[in-house]
Amino acid sequence: MSVEEYLENKANVLRLHSIRSTTKAKSGHPTSCLSSAEIIATLFFNVMNIDPKHMDYLDNDEFVLSKGHAAPILYAALAEAGVIPRDKLMTLREFDSELEGHPVPRIKGIRVATGSLGQGLSIGLGMAYAKKLLGIDRRVYVLLGDGEVAEGSIWEALNLAGKLKMSNLVAILDMNRLGQSEPTMFQWDWRAYAERVKAFGWNVTVCDGHDVKDLIRAFDEAKKSDKPFFIIAKTVKGKGVSFLENVEGRHGRALSEEELNKAEKEILPKIKDIDFQPQNFIEAKVPIEPQKKYSIKTDYKIGDMVATRVAFGRALVKLGEQNDKVVVLDGDVKNSTFTIYFFDKFPERSIQCYIAEQNMVGMAVGLQTQGFDVFLSSFACFLTRAYDQIRMATYSRANLKIAGSHAGVSIGKDGPSQMGLEDLALFRALFGSIVLYPCDAVSAEKLTCEMANYENISYIRTTRPKTPVIYDNSEEFHIGGSKVLRWSKNDEVTVVAGGVTVHEALKAYEKLRAEGINIRVIDCYSVKPLDAETLIKASEETKHIITVEDHYPEGGIGEAVAALGLKPHILAVRRMPHSGEPEELLAEQGIDAAGIIKKVKELVE
Amino acid sequence: MSVEEYLENKANVLRLHSIRSTTKAKSGHPTSCLSSAEIIATLFFNVMNIDPKHMDYLDNDEFVLSKGHAAPILYAALAEAGVIPRDKLMTLREFDSELEGHPVPRIKGIRVATGSLGQGLSIGLGMAYAKKLLGIDRRVYVLLGDGEVAEGSIWEALNLAGKLKMSNLVAILDMNRLGQSEPTMFQWDWRAYAERVKAFGWNVTVCDGHDVKDLIRAFDEAKKSDKPFFIIAKTVKGKGVSFLENVEGRHGRALSEEELNKAEKEILPKIKDIDFQPQNFIEAKVPIEPQKKYSIKTDYKIGDMVATRVAFGRALVKLGEQNDKVVVLDGDVKNSTFTIYFFDKFPERSIQCYIAEQNMVGMAVGLQTQGFDVFLSSFACFLTRAYDQIRMATYSRANLKIAGSHAGVSIGKDGPSQMGLEDLALFRALFGSIVLYPCDAVSAEKLTCEMANYENISYIRTTRPKTPVIYDNSEEFHIGGSKVLRWSKNDEVTVVAGGVTVHEALKAYEKLRAEGINIRVIDCYSVKPLDAETLIKASEETKHIITVEDHYPEGGIGEAVAALGLKPHILAVRRMPHSGEPEELLAEQGIDAAGIIKKVKELVE
């Protein structure tokens, strides 16, 4: 049997698995699998260098299924390669199965979650960048659907990959003409794609996506390219099953039992006994090293005026010195987020992502799959741009360290477009996330180190204005901790603060004390998880509890404390934010010392 | 004085205002203003048809400052056009001033907020689409920064505008070479932009952005274009002030007083007495009509099985029949969100945005500025893709009606990539938003009508599975309301539910009642604002309160209820979500009837 016959055979085997498993599951996207059968077969059984026994090793070629709804055919390929047992395929989409409706990294051979479209190319770019950093001469292959190419994130990735001349990155467009609800923007107009992608700095070829010989030719060209390579594969949705081919209204619908029988009769005759063995399987040798343990020492004096964003930047350098696996990404704001310290010291491990936050997050997800400890930073408000990517990163089980600067109205005159006022809500609402919010330089550095040591998604919120150092360099901070900064046996009210409002609470403490009113002040630097024990104890020992935060009331510190079953009075940003001096804005929102004092007096009088 | 001399004069007047006002404010982006002085002068005082007395009327040309950080020069142009008084300019960025650090629609001549980069072109596309719908032969001009062109949302907008041949849309690229932290991706390589934009279906010209004659030529070409038109204006950042021209490290920094003096000495000699009057001012005649009042009647039978997403789609048709200003946008999921009913009935007012959610939201913001009542829909989870645009829409004071379908684990087998599990948190955390969550078809239709009548940002959460109709067609629903579905004097526990969990709570009620335990069941269909009165009353009358929601615990119904000072036991999605049958998944998360019963028994025993 020739290579071509072998691959055609395999393609039809993959087709068979795809339609059988989706019919068994009574749902899924068989027609989207059928169009990519030859592409997947050619990649997995001819083109890619993979070690089915060690798919998690670094010296494999990588495959990212950006069109995640074609998951069944990816599972089929992994089964045919011997990565998972064939009989697992029929558990598709079941409650107890790792073979979910869209890919998640619960089996080897799948490193990331996909299914929210338009994200895979950024992830692939991150993987390709990582391979280059590691000095591993392997390629990353990303399979794109034609519908998802409408997503701007695809163009962010194409743009940066083109600029970086990322020659180990190959994208394949499964141009099957039909989207979910109607034909795609450009249907089979391959020139529309070719012109666009070429203009973005890629080499491009067009091929018949159902002709394995033509596919092999295209992949050979890709291997010789000095730029990232884009293969436009002309395909037919539903290919191989006559009554599904190029038919509208069949997206995301499994075949009925009857249809399956008909389809099998068409496919089975094309499958011969397979004796040929795949030639592309390798013996991989480079496992991913376990994450390193980091530590940070600080050298500040109490009262030093240092913005937490500056301290964060300094901490990054200290982490970078401990491990060359630390990588930092920034979106053209490095001089504001202070990742510039890292960029200046470790340029080779610093990635300027320009103003394209979605691609930045996607790249970070790709990089961390290759064993890097990845920090990314932007203004807190601009991270909202990439929230879908961040959400998906949780399903990728990604180890991702995200920093958002310029949080709150305390940024002042730039106005609300630049204010992160919903970031605590967004990052708290991620599965398995931690959310940290330092108020001074010592805690900012040490919490950055906590993030480095955490193996899931973490977020640190930093602020623009300088704030005084209040902690001794010997203080320790940990995930789920807090600091009781002021307390006495006569405390009448507990004030729970974070970041800038900690300093307001301390000012309020002094003024109230002078009037004979004692308040307890807690620095709630770990917003998720909260230090429940300390907060509950405080609420038992004082009559009232106030939370005060530079954030909208929804989903922030106040609601987090309320969810503990305490009854906080929530001081937060409740009026339309706008430009002004930080002090004026904190005052207007009632989250400065005066606002705290006013509330305390209301409660104790 | 010739037109050219007049415009050159004006450009320097605008420069002067820009540097003076930013120095007074001690912050801002003067160099980003200086590069666009001739562009802005030519637009406002030669090219655009505007009525400075009626900038809010529909028959003006429109201008969108996508590079929002150049706000001072926009304010300067509006002052020179007589829209705002000149002396207001020196209040820039002050606490009490409408002239904020980045544009917000607090003065006439500014319809939207900008400042989060890459969003203006989508807004402009929406405006241009609206003008065509209205039959108004006016153009929309969007000024882009070169840094922001890295944003994928720009390419989403370019793509759809190209496909739609939106010939009344003109983009101008202020190609000043320098980003915030370093040079832009392509610096002055105009070919890089020209090739890309041409490939996206636009006509393109290049001009000297400091030569008003060349600018006029470019704008004349734009007027003749049969496609959207892109002007690449070669400019110099800091132009007109010798020591700022093309200098790195001067982004977002005001001039010192001393620098200002030096700069004024360079600019003032270029300003002559101005006698020429602008020729482009018109008398606008088409005001925006006030929003119409909508009503909806339903015709369901109790027990009918209808998904809320279907009812939402039906309601859209009823609204569309009442007013031809209703427009609906969808991102290639109309057959899942059921906007397809509207698309089929009113194709001319239905916009297929393909899989590009950011551009969809931006377009919707643009459309609503022109007096349209705009609904947009996608899966709840994919709306996270456009959260930055949605956040900015609140600062645009936009009247926007957003529908998110397929919320929660109740979607079942497709898995977490398709599950909206953080949407309540995201939409609650928007300033001035309302969040609605119907559990049956009657409430879904009537709440859709409530959204239509609301004049700010509203969100409706719909679900995938069919649910029984539980409300009579005569029932009324309102923002801030709730329904007490089951109650007695002996209720021991209140169960607050929303959407799918309402039906679980009703099942739990029956089973518990059979065991002699009475619970109160509340349909919390208005998640923001909550019906505080009813919830507080219930908590006073029953010993315990449980919330149960198909959403992550953070920022959802439970925390909203907790923030009222009640102490709910929060049942929510607390385990990693995955594929499975809806019933299995609800059970696993403990948010089905059995989960509710278990919790109730824990509390009462």
- For residues A154 and B159, the answer to whether their CB atoms sit within 8 Å is no
Q: Are residues A180 and B113, on separate chains, in Cβ contact within 8 Å?
A: no
Q: Which of A173, A230, A554 to mutate to test the interface with B (most CBs of B within 10 A)?
A: A554
Q: How far apart (Å, rounded) are the C-alpha atoms in residues B386 and A24?
A: 35
Q: How confident is the model at residue A564 (pLDDT cuts 50, 70, 90)?
A: very high
Q: How confident is the model at residue B280 (pLDDT cuts 50, 70, 90)?
A: confident
- For residues B34 and B70, the answer to whether their CB atoms sit within 8 Å is no
Q: Are residues B104 and A336, on separate chains, in Cβ contact within 8 Å?
A: no
* A435 contact B CB<8A: no
> In this prediction, what percent of chain B has a pLDDT beyond 90?
98
Report, in this order, helix, strand and coil percent for chain B, each rounded to 5.
45, 15, 40
The mean pLDDT of B402-426, rounded to a whole number, is: 98
Q: Considering CB atoms only, which of B94, B113, B336 is closest to A580?
A: B94
- The predicted pLDDT at position A557 comes to 98
Q: Which residues of A touch B178 (CB under 8 A)?
A: none
- The predicted pLDDT at position A280 comes to 86
- Give the tokens for residue B576: 């990693």
**Helical axes B357-369 vs B152-164, angle rounded to 10°:** 70
- The predicted pLDDT at position A187 comes to 97
Instruction: State pLDDT tens for residues A72-87.
Output: 999 999 999 999 999 9
Buried b (16+ CB within 10 A) or exposed e, A331-366: bbbbbbbbbbbbbeebeebbbbbbbbbbbbbbbbbb
Q: Quick check: B140 pLDDT over 80?
A: yes
Q: Quick check: B170 pLDDT over 80?
A: yes
The mean pLDDT of A18-25, rounded to a whole number, is: 98
- Give the tokens for residue B301: 């039978």
Q: Are residues A579 and B117, on separate chains, in Cβ contact within 8 Å?
A: no
The mean pLDDT of B30-55, rounded to a whole number, is: 98
Q: How far apart (Å, rounded) are the C-alpha atoms in residues B595 and A325?
A: 45
Q: How far apart (Å, rounded) are the C-alpha atoms in residues A238 and A252?
A: 11
Q: Residue B390 — left, alpha, or beta (φ > 0 → left; ψ -120 to 50 → alpha)?
A: alpha
Q: Which residues of B touch A70 (CB under 8 A)?
A: none
* A184 contact B CB<8A: yes
Catalytic residue among B80, B357, B422, B445: B357
3-class SS of residue A25: helix
Q: How confident is the model at residue B278 (pLDDT cuts 50, 70, 90)?
A: confident
Angle, alpha carbons A452-A386-A184 (nearest 5°)? 140
Q: How confident is the model at residue A275 (pLDDT cuts 50, 70, 90)?
A: low
Q: Are residues A151 and B355, on separate chains, in Cβ contact within 8 Å?
A: yes
Instruction: State pLDDT tens for residues B174-216.
Output: 999 999 999 999 999 999 999 999 999 999 999 999 999 999 9
Q: Are residues A196 and B196, on separate chains, in Cβ contact within 8 Å?
A: yes
* A101 contact B CB<8A: yes
Please give the C-alpha separations between residue B292 and each of B289, B325, B354, B452, in angstroms, as whole numbers. Answer: 8, 9, 29, 9
Q: What is the DSSP letter of A250?
A: -
* A196 contact B CB<8A: yes
Q: Considering CB atoms only, which of B102, B335, B429 is closest to A418?
A: B102
Instruction: State pLDDT tens for residues A414-439.
Output: 999 999 999 999 999 999 999 999 99
Count of pairs with CB atoms under 8 A, one residue in A, one in B: 312
Q: Quick check: B274 pLDDT over 70?
A: no
Q: Quick check: A276 pLDDT over 80?
A: no
Q: Are residues B179 and A359, on separate chains, in Cβ contact within 8 Å?
A: no
Q: Quick check: A232 pLDDT over 90?
A: yes
CB atoms within 10 A of CB B93: 27
The mean pLDDT of B508-519, rounded to a whole number, is: 98
The mean pLDDT of A460-478, rounded to a whole number, is: 97
The mean pLDDT of A159-180, rounded to a whole number, is: 98
Q: Are residues A196 and B198, on separate chains, in Cβ contact within 8 Å?
A: no
- The predicted pLDDT at position B279 comes to 78
Q: Are residues B332 and A182, on separate chains, in Cβ contact within 8 Å?
A: yes
- Give the tokens for residue B255: 């001039």
Average predicted confidence (pLDDT) for chain A = 97
Q: Which residues of A touch B418 (CB under 8 A)?
A: 101-102, 115-116
- For residues B394 and B428, the answer to whether their CB atoms sit within 8 Å is no
- The predicted pLDDT at position A1 comes to 81
Q: How confident is the model at residue A274 (pLDDT cuts 50, 70, 90)?
A: low
Instruction: State pLDDT tens for residues A377-411.
Output: 999 999 999 999 999 999 999 999 999 999 999 99
Q: Which residues of A touch B185 (CB under 8 A)?
A: 159-160, 163, 354
- The predicted pLDDT at position A279 comes to 78
* A577 contact B CB<8A: yes
Q: Considering CB atoms only, which of B25, B200, B384 is closest to A387?
A: B384
Helical ranges in A290-385 per DSSP H? 308-322, 334-337, 340-345, 357-369, 380-383
- For residues A237 and A34, the answer to whether their CB atoms sit within 8 Å is yes
* A510–chain B nearest CA distance, Å: 28
Find the Cα–Cα–Cα–Cα dihedral B237, B243, B248, B250, rounded to 10°.
-80
Q: Considering CB atoms only, which of B100, B152, B355 is closest to A117?
A: B355
Q: Which residues of A touch B102 (CB under 8 A)?
A: 414-415, 417-418
Terminus-to-terminus CA distance in chain A, angstroms? 91
What stretch of H or E contains A95?
Answer: none
Q: Considering CB atoms only, which of B163, B199, B330 is closest to A185?
A: B163
Q: Considering CB atoms only, which of B153, B336, B431 is closest to A576?
A: B431
Q: Which residues of A are marked as active site?
A: 357
Q: Are residues A336 and B181, on separate chains, in Cβ contact within 8 Å?
A: yes
Q: Quick check: B605 pLDDT over 90?
A: no
- For residues B472 and B442, the answer to whether their CB atoms sit within 8 Å is yes
Q: Are residues A147 and B553, on separate chains, in Cβ contact within 8 Å?
A: no
- For residues A303 and A468, the answer to whether their CB atoms sit within 8 Å is yes
The mean pLDDT of A231-258, rounded to a whole number, is: 97
Residues 393-432 of B with CB under 8 A from A: 395, 412-418, 421-422, 425-426, 428-432
